[in-house]
Structure 1
Amino acid sequence: MTRVIEYRDPVENCPGFLVYDRMDSRLAAGGCRMSADLTADTLRTLAARMTLKQRVLGIGVDGAKCGIAYDPRGPERAAVLARFVRFLEGELRTRFSMGCDMGTRFEELERIAADAGIGSVKVAIRHAQQITDTEFRARMGLLDIPVGPLTLGQRRAGHALAHAALAAATHSGRRLTQVTVALQGFGNLGRAAAAALLDEAVRVTAVTDAYGCAIDPRGLDLARMLTIDQIRPVPGLLGDPMRLPKEALFDLPADVMILAGGEDAMSPAQAAVVPVPIVAVGANCGLSETAEQLLTDRGVLVVPDFIGGIGGSASMEALFGPTATPDPREVLDTLAAMMRELVGDILCGARDRGVSARRIALDIAAAAGPTGDRPYGTSPYRVSRAAPRGRRAAVVPAPPTEEETR
C-alpha cells in the first residue's frame, strides 16, 4: 500500500513529497531528489523501483523516495532543501532512511540533518537495526573515509555498478584482463564506477558526458581523470585522447557498456545498432522499455537498472549487516562479492529458462518479503569470506510463462 506525505514550501510555494511504496517493514529507504518538474507520480515510480532493489537483495527494507519541485540551480536552493528536510524530521527519526538523488548530495543532506538536531538522514537505521548510537555513528563514519580517489560514501553506488558489469562479462566467458569498457556518464556514479574499474585494471576505452566523448583504444588514463575537478568536461580531462561528439559512444565497439549518465541514456535507434554484447544500467530509468527490448531482441545481455543501480541499498547491507564493524575496504569487497553472487544468480537463471535477466530479477523480488526483526543482516548474497565461491541463494523457480512455452 502506497503512502504519500505532501509538503508545500512556505516561501517558494513549491510542492514536495515523501512516497512510501510499501508499509510492510520497520524501515524504508530511498533518495531525495530536487527537480523543477518533479511530481508525486515520478516519486511513486522511483519508490517502487527501490522496493524492487531491497526485495532482490533479500533485506527487510521497503522502498521510498522523496523530493521537492524546485530547480537545483535556483537561488534559494539551499534554503528550500533545508526546510524540506526539517519538515521530514519525524519520518527520518522513525522510519525513513534518506539518501541522495538527482539534484542533491549526501554530504549536504547530512549537514542539514546535523544542523537541525536530527543527527543524520539515516538515523532511522539505528532504531530499526537496534544498535547503540555509538555503533551507528562508527559505521556511518566509514562513509567519509577515502578509499583511493573517493570516499567510501562516494564510491559505493558506482562500485556496485562496475562489479555488476564485470560479473556479467565474467559470466559470458570473458577474461577481465581482456575486457574493454565504454562508460557513459562521468558524474558521481560514473566516476565511482571508473574508480572500481581502475582497481581491477580493466581497460576503459571511451568515456562520455554531456559535452562529448574521450576515446583511446589503448585505455584512458582513469587515474589522472579522477584527480581532476568533476566540473571539468570529459573532452578536456586529458590531452592525448581523441575527442568526438557524445553520441559517438554508441558507434564504438566494446565488450561492455556501462550507462551511468541519467534517464533514457540510449535511444531506441542507438539500441538497434550499438556494437556491444553487454549493457549494464546504473541510473534509474537509464533505458526505456523500448530500448531495452530492442537490445534483448538482438541478443545483448542487459543488466537492468534496479540491479546495476542497487549499490546504495547493497552497501547498507555490507555496512550494517556484519556483526562487527567492518573497515571501508571490507565494505567495498563485500559489495563487490554481493554483486558477483547476485548477478551470477540472475544470469544463470536467465540462461536456464531462456528469458531476460530482468525477468529473473523480477521473479526473485516477487518471491521475497520482509525478513527478520532487523532490516540488515539477512541478505543471502552477503556471503562470508570463509564461504566457498559460488554458494548462492537459489533462484526461485517460477512456472513458465506463456511466452516461454511457445
Structure 2
Amino acid sequence: MEDDREFRREIRDWLAANVTDDLRGAGGAGRESEAFERRLAFTRRLAAAGWSTLAWPVEHGGRGASLHRQVIFHEEYAMAGAPGRVDHIGVTMVGPTLMQLGTDRQRARFLPGIAAATELWCQGYSEPGAGSDLAAVTTRAELDGDHWVLTGQKVWTSLAHVADWCFVLARTAPVPEGASRHAGLSYLLVPMRQPGVTVRPIRQLTGDSEFNEVFFDGARTERDLVVGEPGQGWRVAMATLGFERGAATVGQQVGFQRDLDDLVALARRTGATADPAVRERLTRAWIDLTVLRAHTLRLLSGPPSAGAATVIKLLWSRWRQGLGELAMTVLGPAGVAAAPGDDAPATPGRARDTTRPTAGEVDRWRRLFLFSRADTIYGGSNEIQRGILAERVLGLPRQDRR
C-alpha cells in the first residue's frame, strides 16, 4: 500500500539522518556497556520523534501502529545498523503491563518517563535459588505504614546498574496451607536510587557486565506501587513475560537476519563456503530463520494461543545459539587465536590480506558465541519451558519433581 511505502520512507529518512557512524552497530545483547551514553541520547531522540512507542495505543501516548508497520520499523531499524536500545525493558515490558493491569495513577506516573526514556527500568525476578522456578522467590516485602519494605536478593538483573526503577516479584504473604506456591507473591515497582539498594555487576565471559546482583536491605517503595492486588503478582509477572516474548520478537528476528547476512558475507570472503558442510549449515540457518519469522507472524496475527510465546522463545534461543556455533566454524583458527586480524598494520612491502576476518569481526562473532550460551537459560530455561508446554498445553501428566 502507498501509505505503508510512505511510512517506510519516513522512518528510513529519519534513521539516515540520526544514525551516525559512531552509533552504527553499537550495543545490544552482550555489549550493553558499549557507547552507552551516546545510545541513551539516541534513544531519547528516537522517543521524541515518536518511534519508541510506535506499538503503544494512542491513548497512552503511542502511535497505535499495526503489526505490519511495527515489522516495517524493525526492518528499517536493523538495516540502518541503528544501535541497541537502552529503553527496551520499559517500553516492551513494564509499559504494556501498566496499560493492561496498572492503575490510572501508576500509568500517569510512569508511562511518560518510559516513553521519553528519561526513566530506565530493570527486571527483579530471578534469585540465586529461584531462576526458572520463579515461584520459589524468597525476597520479602512487608508493609510498614504507607510503604513496602523489601529484604532479599535478585541476580542476573539486566541493566540494574543504570536503571532508575525495578519491577520486583516479592513474597508479601506466606503460602496458605494446600495452596499453590504462586499465592502470596506481589509485583512491586521499586526505585533503585535509594539507601537499601546495592547493585554489584557480574563480569561475564564476554568481558561485559550488563547483568548484576541486586541486594534489598530495607529498601522502600510506596504502598500503592503494587501492580494488581497484593498476593496476585504471579498473574502480573506472567503477563509481563508474555509482552516480552510478543511483538518485540519480530524486531529481534530482523536483527537475526542481518547477523546471518553478515556471516554469509564473511564466509564467502574468507573462503569458508568452499566447505560443503558450511554451505549446508548456512542454508539451514536461513531456512530455519525464515520458518521462525513466518511462525511468529502467524501466532502474533491470530487470536491468543496458549504456549505461543513459549514456543517462540524456544525456537529463537536455539537458532541464535546455533548461529554463534556456526560463526566460530566460519572464523576457523582466527576465532580462538589472539591474532589481531587484517586491520592490524600491514607488513611493509606486502598487501593487506582482505580474506582474513578483521579484529572487529572476530570480536563480534566471539561475543555472539559466548553470550548465546545463555540464550537457552535466561527468561526460563528451555528444559523448563518444554515441561510447561507438555503439562499446560498438551495436557501430559505432570513430571515427578521429588
- TM-score with structure 2 setting the length: 0.27
Structure of greater relative contact order (alpha carbons < 8 Å, 6+ residues apart) = 1
